[in-house]
Structure 1
């Protein structure tokens, strides 16, 4: 399954599990109905900013949109490098590799990102979860430089630095350097029972 087909299935499946129409998800996310429809049919490659808005509206971490295993394949605790889902943002060119084995319901998601020089991406993170339930992230910068604006505070990171964040406010990722940056992003994930409860409710 290619990455656009995977994203199409995940967005469509999460929307329907919550009993939401295209119009309701569009209203809740700020993404147009026509764009969501194109994404769900696999006819367009959404940007990171658009996926972030949809994930927030669906009350799931962004990594959830990339987490899927074929129905006839049992989850494995091992994710081989060649099997890890890899996605490139068509807007900024940043590349995201999903490291955590899919389908396990693990409490932590690991993602490796290669971020091009001179690019930036804004994640609105307008989560609809209570603040104390909002996902948390830690970014460990392996190579290059990054500038992160979390809410109203800006942090300049060099290789080896690690920044902890609560994902309940806008975050801007930017690479001010002249070469790509590479980092690992660790994100907390809601418990399976909590995720099931979210999936069972309807969006309003």
Structure 2
């Protein structure tokens, strides 16, 4: 049973999110029941916060909503932490392309923006076939070096101190002409 006294509890946020997902899909409780095999009354009680879902029921709901359980639970996390210490900033390196990515301010359900520190070795090339989210806003501020960024077929040479900003709707290409590596801050803002 849930703690209805605390509307900010994970259970309360989960109940609200489940109700919102059903509404976003335009489904009635009867339609959701048909799709999941979970009784209409159970679904109604879940959305009102009178009942906590079992793992099995939550799994059935995640399947019809096209989400992993981790993604659904991430959507109802509490407010993101205000401080992201350096030791908690995940770093990923693609040795083959010479690209390093540090998630300085990682994405969070409650936020629309994230900040990434990117470095490209001299001569490195990285291409992206499509925008991860069409219309995503990007601001790229070069901290050291020079990078050539191709967006919408136009090549922009962005030097130390310069900032390139755009809405990404298609492919993009990053190239570090050298002679030194480039280091830049990338702010990604979801539409």
**Shorter-chain TM-score tier:** 0.5 to 0.7
| Residue 98 of structure 1: how far off its partner (Å) | 0.5
Determine helix, strand or coil for the equivalent of 1:99.
strand
1:153 equivalenced with 2:154 (yes/no): yes
Match of 1:24 in 2: none
Equivalent of residue 123 in structure 1, options 113, 117, 128 = 128
Q: Is the 8 A contact 1:147 1:155 kept in 2?
A: yes
1:19 equivalenced with 2:66 (yes/no): yes
Q: Give the TM-score normalised by structure 1.
A: 0.53
* Structure 2 residues not aligned, in runs of 5+: 1-61
Equivalent of residue 110 in structure 2, options 101, 105, 118 = 105
| Residue 105 of structure 1: how far off its partner (Å) | 2.1
In 1, the alpha carbon distance for the partners of 2:189 and 2:77 equals 27
* Matched positions, count: 125
| Residue 128 of structure 1: how far off its partner (Å) | 6.9
Determine helix, strand or coil for the equivalent of 2:105.
coil
| Residue 111 of structure 1: how far off its partner (Å) | 0.4
Written as runs of structure 1 = structure 2, the 5 A alignment for 1:43-122 is: 75-103=80-108, 105-122=110-127
In 1, the alpha carbon distance for the partners of 2:104 and 2:136 equals 18
| Residue 77 of structure 1: how far off its partner (Å) | 1.3
Determine helix, strand or coil for the equivalent of 2:187.
strand
| Alignment CA distance shift 1:72-1:142 (3 Å) | closer
Match of 2:138 in 1: 137
In 1, the alpha carbon distance for the partners of 2:113 and 2:164 equals 16
Q: Is the 8 A contact 2:115 2:185 kept in 1?
A: yes
In 2, the alpha carbon distance for the partners of 1:102 and 1:127 equals 13
| Alignment CA distance shift 1:98-1:118 (3 Å) | same
In 1, the alpha carbon distance for the partners of 2:91 and 2:116 equals 10
CA RMSD between the two structures: 3.0
In 1, the alpha carbon distance for the partners of 2:117 and 2:133 equals 26
| Alignment CA distance shift 1:180-1:169 (3 Å) | same
Query: In proportion to residue count, which structure has more strand?
Result: 2
Q: Give the TM-score normalised by structure 2.
A: 0.56
